[in-house]
Amino acid sequence: MEMILDISAIFILIVEVVLLYQLRAHRHELSAKVRSMVLFGIIVLPVLAVALGNYHVFVTTKESSACQSCHVMAPMANDMMFDSKSQTLAARHYQNGWIAEHECYSCHADYGFQGTMKAKLDGYRHLMRYVTETYHEPIRYRGEFNSMNCYSCHEGSRTFEAVDEHAPVVENLLGEDPTISCLNCHGRAHPEPSRRTPGSKDYKWLSNPKVDKVVNAEELKDYISNITASAE
């Protein structure tokens, strides 16, 4: 999808340049051809480019690399991918390869079309807040985490069903007004705000970009497998 978007953007750029060049060459004419070029070169293509750019942003919000690209999200990404001692839910899911791709999006997006749109709009809002520097550290999640996102993946798994304590929790989650969150028993999803506050002892490490490319769970598992094979 990203390749298609990139090719489309390049195509629009080339067409725009050609049209503007033709408009310059025929700037003293008012023929139907020139009026058509004006319509496409100054109105249609710029609007299409803006729409394509926004759509590209919506698509890339599903990638964990999009989250990691903002400085304020580095603590979450570093804890999730690089702290082998971390017991946060994000780190345990990522480092054990429990989510194959779109690690951030998989947990933060509610299911269904409405949930998908809300997650992408939230990602777009976060980007705008970051670009305009209208955020404050430590950043905090606005709203409440939907535990049904967890249940949608764990439902029916043998390890989940084997825990007797999960039965009353699920019954509560499926009710009209849930009072229990998965975080109550399983801990925080990300490092607590005190560790992400500028000046704290962990802030420098957590906020330091570790790599310029996000390694997904499958690549991490392959890397570990190669190391294990070479050691045998």
Q: Is the pLDDT of residue 79 over 70?
A: yes
Classified as helix, coil or strand, 165 is coil
Please write the tens of the pLDDT for every residue from 39-77.
666 777 777 777 777 666 666 667 787 777 788 888 999
29 and 133: one domain?
no
Q: Do 38 and 96 belong to one domain?
A: no
* Shared-domain flag, residues 123 and 15: no
Q: Where are the alpha helices (DSSP H) in 96-135?
A: 103-108, 113-131
For residue 217, what pLDDT is reported?
52
* Distance in angstroms (rounded) separating the CA atoms of residues 81 and 92: 9
Domain end marker among 42, 60, 78:
60
Cis check for the bond before 138: say yes or no (omega within 30 of 0): yes
The more confidently predicted of residues 42 and 111 is 42
Listed ranges 19-33, 46-60, 187-201, 216-230; the one with the highest mean pLDDT: 187-201
The answer on 218 and 141 residing in a single domain is: yes
Q: Are residues 130 and 105 in the same domain?
A: yes
- Confidence (pLDDT) at 189: 92
The three-point CA angle 47-48-51 to 5° equals 90
Q: Is the overall model pTM greater than 0.75, yes or no?
A: no
Q: Among 49-53, 131-135, 167-171, which is the least confidently predicted range?
A: 49-53
d(CA 192, CA 138): 9
pLDDT surpassing 60 at residue 212: no
118 plus 17 within the same structural domain: no
Which are the contacts of 70, defined by CB distance < 8 A and separation ≥ 6? 126, 127, 130
- Structural domain boundaries, residue 38: 2-60
- Domain end among 60, 88, 105: 60
In the block, residue with structure tokens 């970051």: 130
pLDDT in tens, 144-160: 778 888 998 899 899 99
For residue 214, tell me if it sits in a domain: yes
Residue 133 falls inside a structural domain:
yes
In a domain, 183, yes or no: no
Whether 52 and 130 share a structural domain = no
The answer to whether residue 44 is domain-embedded is yes
Domain boundary among the residues 60, 78, 101 is at 60
Q: Within a domain: residue 155?
A: no
Residues 121, 224: one domain? yes
Instruction: Kindly state whether residues 100 and 214 are assigned to the same domain.
Output: yes
Give the count of domains, the chain.
Answer: 2
Give residue 92's pLDDT band: very low, low, confident or very high (50, 70, 90): very high
Residues 47, 10, single domain; the answer is: yes
Q: How confident is the model at residue 228 (pLDDT cuts 50, 70, 90)?
A: low
Q: Is the same domain home to 128 and 23?
A: no
Query: Are 40 and 127 part of one and the same domain?
Result: no
The single residue listed with the structure tokens 């535990």 is 147
